[in-house]
């Protein structure tokens, strides 16, 4: 069931179009991430859902209600900010109970909910502390509890982990996801961190230059990027120009070498120029004799990245990265060695230009 | 630091202290000489027993408190609104807040008298005019203190956080923002209060009872009491500054940086 619906949303600041024709349906209990680089319009879109910005055109529906022009304090939407935004003059408990107090709920109900929320974020002992006495991770958990205490219809999270160090980010994102699942609340999460988006979301909306590039599950976004931008932004990807040889047999060539793809080439004809992509982990050195998708290469560089070893090879005039899992008995080629690499048909992704 | 420069630093500091405190000490000692041949607090006793002193002092305290209240009610929402919604007018507003520094008080008071002494604004006899004039006079200190306080917190995010929790403008202003800039507001308030306590021209020309006109009158009439009144006035100003310091120190809490 659609819970939040954004139809043909656009936002203009002066002459600059920050968001253009944004359409999205979010189901009840779904966790959707807006992913994109700085300035792509993801935060502006979130702020339009929260009511801090008014769309230039389009409509925001929450359930059956049109909330496009509704004031932020009327929307029943909880928000977690990058800068925590806890009220420094109030204790943790007062912060969490603030929204309920505004809604004039009975003191006993507020007290009960605050205790419940403190247990949810595992800060039972910190009710009487002030925000300045907490660490960054603790403050953000309090901000999450405060946003949830009012039982909002939608939870909005604007890069909530950006100000935290790497280890806390990983543990807190898992905690946020677990709490969201437990409460079954619809959540919209803004991030520029692809790993964060891939690990936490039911669906990801990849944005660039104010437009949606692709909407899909993390699996779809990573494995089947539909545009060159998504391919380059999500994960590491080798992209290159290719030419269609036989659209029916799904044959293409790069630098004179023939490759077979599993993707449809309908609508394309022989000689058409296309862009293809291959993930580094889908390339392997040829160990047994293979006939299809084998490319001659020269090893140019080897970089040790911990769990992965990245090998840069030159195929024709293209430089490709290939990733292989590290193990103590891994036999690596020498730099300058002539080798052959191959990939499966499914690994050759055709990008929409 | 070289030994020579340390010596010079001390020299200039001591010279500054002497320059500042010598007249104060002299005034204080003079105020103790009301009784012939001995040092006593007779001048202070006479001062505190003088009903005109009590009256002038009480009125000034009242004008000061009213000025602070009216000033906060005007400048706090203004500074907040400029910061949140009208950053483009900030330079113009800052210029206006500086005007009391460039318009002499005597010019200001004659402007007030001319403007408000005939209909439709016949309020020259009203104490409200004096309070509003004091609000204008203390504007540079109060507005700037409040604005500095607003700069020290993330006003926009706190406002949006409160809004997302259902708060209206009144709640946001007085329950979220104001408590977090209370040190700045108190500082501005006490500075304003100190200015009002020592202000002469407005009270004199608007013919309202106040401490400074009483002091001026006293100087013409008596010898030792004016010195005692000056010391009392300075002590009051210092007390205000001390309170600002105390409140300022109490308002800060340790910030724990880092992660979990």
The shortest C-alpha distance from B170 to chain A (Å) reads 11
Q: Residue range B158-171: average pLDDT?
A: 94
Distances (CA, A) of B110 to A273, B102, B105, B133, B209: 83, 15, 9, 11, 18
Q: Cβ separation of A81 and B157 shorter than 8 Å?
A: yes
The shortest C-alpha distance from A249 to chain B (Å) reads 55
Of B160, B165, B179, the CB nearest to A102: B165
- On whether the CB atoms of residues B109 and B201 are closer than 8 A, the answer is yes
Q: Which residues of A touch B179 (CB under 8 A)?
A: 89
Q: For a pLDDT cut of 90, what percent of chain A falls above it? A: 62
Q: Specify the pLDDT at position A288.
A: 67
Q: Phi, psi (5° rounding) for residue B22?
A: -55, -50
Task: Write down the mean pLDDT value for chain A.
Answer: 91
Distance CA B251, CA B194 (A): 22
Of B168, B253, B257, the CB nearest to A73: B168
Q: Cβ separation of B254 and A133 shorter than 8 Å?
A: yes
Interface membership of A72 toward B (CB under 8 Å): yes
Interface membership of A54 toward B (CB under 8 Å): no
Is it the case that residue B125 has pLDDT exceeding 90?
A: no
Distance CA A272, CA A284 (A): 28
What ipTM did this prediction achieve? Answer: 0.81
Q: Which residues of B touch A135 (CB under 8 A)?
A: 256-260
Is it the case that residue A154 has pLDDT exceeding 70?
A: yes
Q: Dump pLDDT digits (tens) for A274-305.
A: 988 898 999 988 876 666 788 888 999 999 98
Q: Cβ separation of B260 and A146 shorter than 8 Å?
A: no
Q: Specify the pLDDT at position A2.
A: 63
- With vertex at residue A48, the alpha carbon angle to CA A42 and CA A53, rounded to the nearest 5 degrees, is 110
Q: Is A332 exposed, middle or buried (0-12, 13-18, 19+ CB in 10 A)?
A: middle
Q: Is A287 exposed, middle or buried (0-12, 13-18, 19+ CB in 10 A)?
A: exposed
- On whether the CB atoms of residues B67 and B131 are closer than 8 A, the answer is yes
With b meaning 16 or more CB within 10 Å and e meaning fewer, what string describes A123-134? beebbeebbebb
Task: Write down the mean pLDDT value for chain B.
Answer: 87
- How far does CA A237 lie from the centroid of its chain? 16
Interface membership of A105 toward B (CB under 8 Å): no
Nearest one of A187, A151, A157 to A3, comparing CA atoms: A187
- On whether the CB atoms of residues A35 and A204 are closer than 8 A, the answer is yes
The shortest C-alpha distance from A21 to chain B (Å) reads 25
Q: Specify the pLDDT at position A66.
A: 94
Q: Dump pLDDT digits (tens) for B238-257.
A: 887 788 777 766 544 433 33
Interface membership of A144 toward B (CB under 8 Å): no
- On whether the CB atoms of residues A168 and A137 are closer than 8 A, the answer is yes
- On whether the CB atoms of residues A75 and A51 are closer than 8 A, the answer is yes
* DSSP three-state, residue A209: coil
Which secondary-structure segment (H or E) carries B29?
A: helix B3-31
Identify the bridge partners of residue A295 per DSSP, sorted by sequence position.
A341
Q: Residue range B143-155: average pLDDT?
A: 93
Q: Specify the pLDDT at position A290.
A: 65
A:224-253 residues touching chain B, CB 8 A cutoff: none
Q: Cβ separation of B164 and A130 shorter than 8 Å?
A: no
Q: Residue range B228-236: average pLDDT?
A: 87
Q: Specify the pLDDT at position B254.
A: 38
Interface membership of A52 toward B (CB under 8 Å): yes
Q: Cβ separation of A130 and B253 shorter than 8 Å?
A: yes
Of B160, B255, B257, the CB nearest to A52: B160
Q: Specify the pLDDT at position A305.
A: 87
Q: Dump pLDDT digits (tens) for A65-101.
A: 999 999 999 998 999 999 889 999 999 999 999 999 9
- On whether the CB atoms of residues B153 and B181 are closer than 8 A, the answer is yes
Q: Is A304 exposed, middle or buried (0-12, 13-18, 19+ CB in 10 A)?
A: exposed
Q: Cβ separation of A134 and B256 shorter than 8 Å?
A: yes
Q: Cβ separation of B260 and A171 shorter than 8 Å?
A: yes
Is it the case that residue B194 has pLDDT exceeding 90?
A: no
Q: Specify the pLDDT at position B187.
A: 87
Distance CA A342, CA A285 (A): 6
The shortest C-alpha distance from A169 to chain B (Å) reads 9
- On whether the CB atoms of residues A140 and A160 are closer than 8 A, the answer is yes
Distance CA A305, CA A175 (A): 28
Question: Can you give the pTM of this predicted structure?
Answer: 0.80
Q: Residue range A43-56: average pLDDT?
A: 95
At B260, the pLDDT band (50, 70, 90 cuts) reads very low
Choose the weakest-confidence range: A57-66, A261-270, A301-310, B147-156: A261-270
At A263, the pLDDT band (50, 70, 90 cuts) reads confident
> Within 10 Å of residue A167's Cβ, how many Cβ atoms?
11
Q: Dump pLDDT digits (tens) for B90-106.
A: 999 999 999 999 999 89
Q: Residue for token digits 């000689």?
A: A271
B→A contacts (Cβ < 8 Å), by residue, are 153-154, 157-158, 160-168, 171, 176, 179-180, 253-260
Q: Cβ separation of A98 and B168 shorter than 8 Å?
A: no
Of B167, B179, B257, the CB nearest to A73: B167
Q: Residue range B56-79: average pLDDT?
A: 93
Is it the case that residue B2 has pLDDT exceeding 90?
A: no
Q: For a pLDDT cut of 70, what percent of chain B falls above it? A: 94
Distance CA A309, CA A279 (A): 14
Pairing of strands A308-315, A294-304: antiparallel
Q: Residue range A1-17: average pLDDT?
A: 90
Q: Specify the pLDDT at position B190.
A: 86
Q: Dump pLDDT digits (tens) for B26-44.
A: 999 999 998 888 889 999 9
Q: Specify the pLDDT at position B253.
A: 44
- With a CB cutoff of 8 Å and minimum separation 6, the contacts of A280 are A236, A237, A238, A310, A320, A321, A322, A323
């Amino acid at each position: 069931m659609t819970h939040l619906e954004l139809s043909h949303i656009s936002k203009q600041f002066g002459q600059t179009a920050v968001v253009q024709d944004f359409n999205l349906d979010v189901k009840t209990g779904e966790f959707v991430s807006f992913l994109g680089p700085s300035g792509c319009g993801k935060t502006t879109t979130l702020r339009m859902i929260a009511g801090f910005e008014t769309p230039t055109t389009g409509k925001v529906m929450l359930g059956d209600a049109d909330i496009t022009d509704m004031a932020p304090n009327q929307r029943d939407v909880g928000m977690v900010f990058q800068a925590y935004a806890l009220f420094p003059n109030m204790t943790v408990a007062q912060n969490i109970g603030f929204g309920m107090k505004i809604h004039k709920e009975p003191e006993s109900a507020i007290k009960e909910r605050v205790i419940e929320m403190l247990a949810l974020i595992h800060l039972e002992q910190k009710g009487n502390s002030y925000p300045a006495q907490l660490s960054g991770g603790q403050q953000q958990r309090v901000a999450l509890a405060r946003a949830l205490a009012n039982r909002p219809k939608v939870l909005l999270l604007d890069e909530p982990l950006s100000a935290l160090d790497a280890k806390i980010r990983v543990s807190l994102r898992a905690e946020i996801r677990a709490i969201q699942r437990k409460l079954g609340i619809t959540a919209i999460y803004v991030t520029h961190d692809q790993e964060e988006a891939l690990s936490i979301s039911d669906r990801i909306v990849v944005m660039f230059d104010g437009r949606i590039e692709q909407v899909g599950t993390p699996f779809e976004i990573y494995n089947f990027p539909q545009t060159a931008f998504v391919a380059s932004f999500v994960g590491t990807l080798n992209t290159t120009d290719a030419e269609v040889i036989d659209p029916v047999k799904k044959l293409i060539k790069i630098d004179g070498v023939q490759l077979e793809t599993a993707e449809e080439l309908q609508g394309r004809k022989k000689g058409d120029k296309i862009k293809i992509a291959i993930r580094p982990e889908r390339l392997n050195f040829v160990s047994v004799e293979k006939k299809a998708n084998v490319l001659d290469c020269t090893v140019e560089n080897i970089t040790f990245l911990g769990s992965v070893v990245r090998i840069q090879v030159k195929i024709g005039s293209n430089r490709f990265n290939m990733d292989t899992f590290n193990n103590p008995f891994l036999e690596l080629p020498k730099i300058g060695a002539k080798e052959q690499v191959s990939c499966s048909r499914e690994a050759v992704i055709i990008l929409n230009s | 630091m070289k030994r020579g420069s340390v010596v010079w630093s001390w020299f200039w500091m001591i010279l500054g202290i002497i320059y500042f405190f010598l007249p104060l000490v002299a005034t204080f000692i003079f105020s103790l000489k009301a009784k012939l041949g001995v040092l006593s607090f007779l001048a202070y006793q006479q001062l505190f027993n003088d009903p005109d002193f009590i009256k002038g002092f009480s009125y000034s305290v009242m004008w000061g408190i009213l000025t602070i209240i009216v000033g906060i009610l005007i400048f706090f929402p203004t500074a907040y609104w400029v910061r949140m919604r009208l950053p483009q007018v900030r330079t113009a507003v800052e210029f206006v807040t500086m005007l009391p520094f460039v318009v002499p008080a005597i010019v200001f008071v004659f402007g007030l008298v001319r403007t408000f002494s005939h209909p439709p604004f016949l309020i020259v006899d009203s104490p409200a005019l004096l309070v509003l004039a004091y609000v204008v006079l203390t504007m540079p200190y109060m507005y700037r203190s409040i604005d500095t306080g607003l700069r020290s917190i993330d006003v926009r995010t706190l406002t949006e956080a409160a809004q997302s929790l259902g708060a209206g403008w009144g709640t946001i202003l007085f329950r979220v923002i104001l408590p977090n800039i209370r040190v700045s507001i108190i500082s501005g308030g006490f500075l304003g209060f100190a200015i009002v306590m020592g202000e002469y021209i407005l009270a004199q020309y608007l013919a309202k009872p106040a401490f400074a006109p009483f002091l001026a009158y006293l100087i013409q009439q008596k010898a030792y009491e004016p010195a005692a009144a000056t010391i009392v006035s300075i002590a009051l100003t210092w007390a205000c500054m001390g309170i600002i310091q105390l409140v300022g120190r109490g308002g800060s809490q340790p910030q724990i940086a880092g992660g979990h």
